[in-house]
Amino acid sequence: MLDTNILLDWLLARDTARTELIDKLFATTKELHIPDAIVVELAFALEKFYELPRTLVSDNLHKVVDEPIFNCNRTLFHRALTDYSTHPSWSFLDCCLLNYAELQNALPVWTFDKKLVNQSEGKAQSPTT
């Protein structure tokens, strides 16, 4: 199982020695698991800490989700990345939340986030409406 820092080092090549170790790990391992929370944390770190534009955040997340060695929730994250690219006011977490609820047949998402309610075409609703 991988944590966020391994993925950040792999994507951003923050440290040459660690990147080499990561490359060796990937070359000698058949499958590595990435929990959903790690992908969401990765998006947050890339966007808020490293201040990458959404296009680069999206490109990096696609690199992770599309890497064959990684076992992650590809269905959820491909859908969330589509929304992340088409709804610039939504956080990646919001995109994941709406798509997770839809995949689980658990819509609507109940929230007080007026922006999300107004932009989600009924997928998110306020308890006051």
CA atoms of 19 and 108, how far apart (whole Å): 42
Whether 129 has a pLDDT exceeding 90, the answer reads: no
Dump pLDDT digits (tens) for 57-100: 999 999 999 999 999 999 999 999 999 999 999 999 999 999 99
Whether 40 has a pLDDT exceeding 70, the answer reads: yes
Whether 18 has a pLDDT exceeding 70, the answer reads: yes
The average pLDDT across 3-28 equals: 96
- The CA-to-CA distance between both ends of the chain, in Å, stands at 42
Output the pLDDT for position 122: 94
Any residues with CB less than 8 A from the CB of 84 and at least 6 apart, and which?
A: 43, 54, 57, 58, 61, 90, 92, 95
| Token pair belonging to 37 | 């929370």
Output the pLDDT for position 107: 97
Residue 72 and residue 39 in contact, taking contact as beta carbons nearer than 8 Å: yes
